[in-house]
Amino acid sequence: MPTSAQRLNQLAGQMSLFFMESCFQCSFVVSINRFVAVFYPTYYRKAFNERTTAIMLLLTTTLSLIYFGLYFVAGSDGCNFYYDQKSNAWTFGTDLCSKRMAHYVDMLSNMVLFAISCVIDVIVFIRLRSSTKAILNTLLYSVMLLCFHIIALFTSNTLSHFLSRTIVWSVAHTVDGLILIYLNPEIKKHLVSIRHFVQIIKDPVSSNNERVVTVYSSTFK
């Protein structure tokens, strides 16, 4: 592989790690936010305002940038994350720096993060009996990390390696978005509004007739 293409491959991998880590950090912050809202509602109104939200977003982004930047600081010695064409999977480099980043940062630190999130979400679930989204997200990302770092080590062929390191990663982020949409009534309401708007653009006459019939029916009920 040419040097420029190889560098682009590594940069794409590092960018994906940045966005993934940002997602993990935000998920953790949401768990804390939900916990405080449930158990300390009075304090929640004072603590979680626009300023606090901005600080939290800045903090999560900064932590992700630090993680992202470590790959450039140690770039000359390796510390890479890239798509391996031989195994058809995203993988860390074989150098010492990459192995340490994979083991201590990507796996252990994130698993600890999800373990804490899981405990918080279970406590909230016991209190409210309705914290499905948070628990599903935590379990989803935990399974993804286990597949990437543990299960992939026991795969013996290229297809299994591809499934456990690439497909699982993509599916996890896709399912996370679907969970967010399905369990969030506000997002579903906006999606229905968008669908109705598109329908009006495509067929304004039929949409207008439906609206007139609806108004007429509600008037004479």
Q: Is 129 exposed, middle or buried (0-12, 13-18, 19+ CB in 10 A)?
A: exposed
- Domain 4-218 part of CATH 1.20.1070.10: yes
The domain segmentation of the chain, as residue ranges, is 4-218
Torsions phi, psi for 214 (to 5 deg): -65, -45
Whole-prediction pTM: 0.63
pLDDT digits (tens, 9 = 90+) for 129-169: 555 666 777 777 778 888 887 887 787 777 787 788 778 87
Higher per-residue confidence, 133 vs 207: 133
Cβ atoms 121, 31 nearer than 8 A: yes
pLDDT digits (tens, 9 = 90+) for 164-185: 877 887 888 788 777 777 766 6
